[in-house]
Amino acid sequence: MISSRPRVSVIIPAYYSYETVETCLGAIRAQTFRDLEVILINSSPEEITDKIVTTRFPEVIFRQSPKRLLPHAARNYGVNIARGEILVFTDPDCKARSDWLARLVEAHDAGHSVVGGSMGLGTRHWIERGVHLSKFSWLLSGLPSGPRQVIPTANASYLRRVWDIVGPFEGNLFSGDTLLSWRAFSKGFIPWFEPRAVVEHRHAGNLCFYWREFFERGKEFAGVRVKFEHWSRWRVAAYLILLPALLLLVLMRAGRDAFRSGWGLNFVLTLPVQMIFKLAWSLGEARTHFRLVIQKPKLKSCRRDS
């Protein structure tokens, strides 16, 4: 890695990530694209991550937060340190293929301001395959490149000039990457999917863990969308009524993407798992919509006007 101002800054949040961070950083060290810096923000109160990073990866810029940061708050912290023209985000439980950064930079050089890569799967357990399809069916590597409404921060990159217009992340939200993608889209910076830029993701957890996660993320997502798009009370109510049909539509779209990308068999085999997680997400959305209909709160927009 070079010492002058790099073209790319890779920013990684960490929280009790010592079991996966070495693999993550090793894959970034092996990138064919070399004009980069790596910034890791750790907010877990332990010394293992610090020791792994500072002793085995001295080229990495390591910062220890004195308080717990949610992932997007840690990313904002990293951006404030970053010097690169392109801000690249990934997670400590992701392993990038060796040409990952090269493919992202290539897409930016082709004129795209916001780029997301595809999500591979690092393990093949039945539940993990179901989780992966539930989270990333529309970002599988077998799908064609093209615009996307949302680019998740497990594999995302923004030109610095675009970030200065649409950023930062909402640090207190897990849906902060969704919201930032929507902000970029609303400003004319259409997120672009580059399937050749691949990171392999790990999913560690059991059915109960992911049920809770999907339920909570569904609750949050519903509130963020209602605020950002300025939904009326009647639109919220209509969505609540139609939610069972929309759940089926989401599963059908996931199946379409899975079969188009070579994941058709995995889709069929893990369909029960996907149905459980999609149901949890839908119930989370339903709870938020129901409360908005009943309470009729004053909704403050998440949209940035600047």
| Residue 305, domain member (yes or no) | no
Strand pairing partners for 119? 199
Whether residue 304 is contained in a domain is answered as no
In this predicted structure, the answer to whether residue 48 has a pLDDT above a threshold of 50 is: yes
pLDDT for residue 196: 98
- Which one, of 145, 140, 103, lies nearest residue 121 by Cα? 140
pLDDT tens, position by position, 158-192: 999 999 999 999 999 999 999 999 999 999 999 99
| Residue where a domain stops, chosen among 201, 233, 257 | 201
Q: Output the pLDDT for position 122.
A: 84
For the segment 133-158, what is each residue's pLDDT rounded down to a tens digit? 999 999 999 999 999 999 999 999 99
Closest-CA residue to 112 (of 165, 55, 156): 156
Q: Are 90 and 10 in contact (CB under 8 A)?
A: yes
- Continuous H helices in the chain: 21-29, 48-56, 71-81, 100-109, 126-136, 160-166, 176-186, 207-228, 233-260, 264-269, 271-295
Domain boundary among 184, 201, 218: 201
Within a domain: 300:
no
Query: Is residue 17 a part of any domain in this protein?
Result: yes
Q: Work out the average pLDDT over 39-57.
A: 97
At residue 296, does pLDDT exceed 80? no
What is the tens place of the pLDDT at every residue in 186-203? 999 999 999 999 999 999
- Rounded Cα–Cα distance for residues 10 and 85 (Å): 11
88-130 residue pLDDT tens: 999 999 999 999 999 999 999 999 999 999 999 987 788 999 9
What pLDDT is recorded for position 205? 84
**Residues 226-258: tens digit of each pLDDT:** 999 999 999 999 999 999 999 999 999 999 999
Residue-level pLDDT at 304: 47
What is the reported pLDDT for 271?
A: 96
Length of the chain: 306
| pLDDT more than 70, % of the chain | 95
Domain span including residue 249: 207-295
Give the model's pLDDT for residue 297: 53
Say whether both 266 and 167 belong to one domain: no
Residue with tokens 């937060």: 65
> Structurally, how many domains does the chain consist of?
2
Q: Compute CA distances 243 → 58, 222, 238, 289, whole Å.
A: 50, 12, 9, 10
Q: Is the pLDDT score of 3 beyond 80?
A: no
Among 201, 217, 244, the domain boundary falls at: 201
Q: How many CB atoms lie within 10 A of CB 185?
A: 18
Say yes or no to pLDDT of 298 above 80.
no
CATH of the domain at 76: 3.90.550.10
Rg (CA), the chain: 19
Residue 292 has pLDDT above 90, yes or no: yes
